[in-house]
Structure 1
Amino acid sequence: MQVLPVADDQWDVVAWLWQDFRHDLAPAVDGFPYADGRYRHEWLDAYPAPDRHGYLAWRPHPNTGDDAPIGFALVRPGEQREHLLQAFFVVPAARRGGVGLGFAAEVIGRHPGGWEIPFQHLNTAAGPFWRRVADALWGEGWVETTEAVPGRPDVPPDHWIRTV
């Protein structure tokens, strides 16, 4: 796997993967596509920007051997720490075998300092995954909290992993 910053001409690739990401989250966030068939994308619309970073993970396509995107990550300034992992996605066919952990470690390693990693309570795969990442990268140097989702008293609180 190769992890590279998103080039100016690759944001369309991220936009395609974004739809997979939002589709994947749909059961956890009651997500429906809008009238144009796309899921919400205002977070993605804030990229690129000088204080925001995007990364694509690449691996040879199993059928063609050409480089294929297998995931993306978006990093922005955090509210309580220097960095916040705003979005992280690995295509289902590339999951397992440590791909996600390796990708997360590579992205986080490019931005020294404190981190915040939020995830939804109902995203049952996210919790165990991000706790494994936190243990691998920070040992006991992290905490997990829950916080109400602003403006959404009808949903369970989000989980936040933060370095200490």
Structure 2
Amino acid sequence: MKITPVTETNSPIYHNLIQSYEAEFSPITGKKPNDSGLFELDTHLGDDTLGFLLQIDNTPAGIAAIRCKEAEAYEVCEFYVVPRFRKNGIGMEFAHAIWKNYPGEWEIKQIQGAEYATVFWRNTLNSIETDFTEESYDDPYWGIVTRQKFTVH
């Protein structure tokens, strides 16, 4: 497993994978591709948002977009592992590796209809030594979401 920051050089890989992510969630979000066949993105990299690529044996296998909200406060905005690489702990390991490099306060949100994502995040959080809170939260953009908050030391 290799995790690299998204740069100008590898950003096309990130943008290709995030289209798969958007397509996977489109039945829940109601999004449709535009006239060019691409989904509009909810999270754009740059400024306060970092992107990461996950590679398994030199194959692009996932992406993450992390918003740096303030000093040592972060939000997982987008997180995707290609279905071929799921169900073997890779996603959990990917999340843990990112958190390890960014200690502080974290939050993750899942939209209604993405209960499998909520299960993934609960399992991932339960596998590290941290307490987390979970609540139903009225997000200004997404509406009612499930939100977990936790601290990484």
Normalising by structure 2, we get a TM-score of 0.89
Map of 1:150 onto structure 2: 140
List gaps (5 residues or longer) in structure 2.
Answer: none
Displacement of 1:53 in angstroms is: 1.6
- Map of 2:105 onto structure 1: 114
Counterpart of 2:19 in structure 1 is 19
Identity of aligned residues (%): 24
Matched positions, count: 150
Give the aligned partner of residue 48 of structure 1.
Answer: 46
Preserved contact between residue 82 and residue 113 of structure 1 (Cα < 8 Å): yes
Give the structure 2 partner of residue 94 of structure 1. Answer: 85
TM-score normalized with structure 1 length: 0.83
RMSD: 1.9
Distance 1:159-1:78 versus aligned 2 partners, 3 A rule:
farther
Match of 2:33 in 1: 33
Distance 1:71 1:151, change over 3 A: closer
Larger radius of gyration: 1
Contact kept? 2:52, 2:64, Cα under 8 Å? yes
Letter in structure 1 aligned against 2:136: T
Structure-1 residue corresponding to 2:149: 162
CA distance in 1, matches of 2:135, 2:66: 20
Structure 2 distance, partners of 1:113, 1:151, is 24
Structure (1 or 2) with the greater strand fraction: 2
The answer to whether the 8 A contact 1:138-1:163 is kept is no
Gaps of 5+ in 1: 61-66
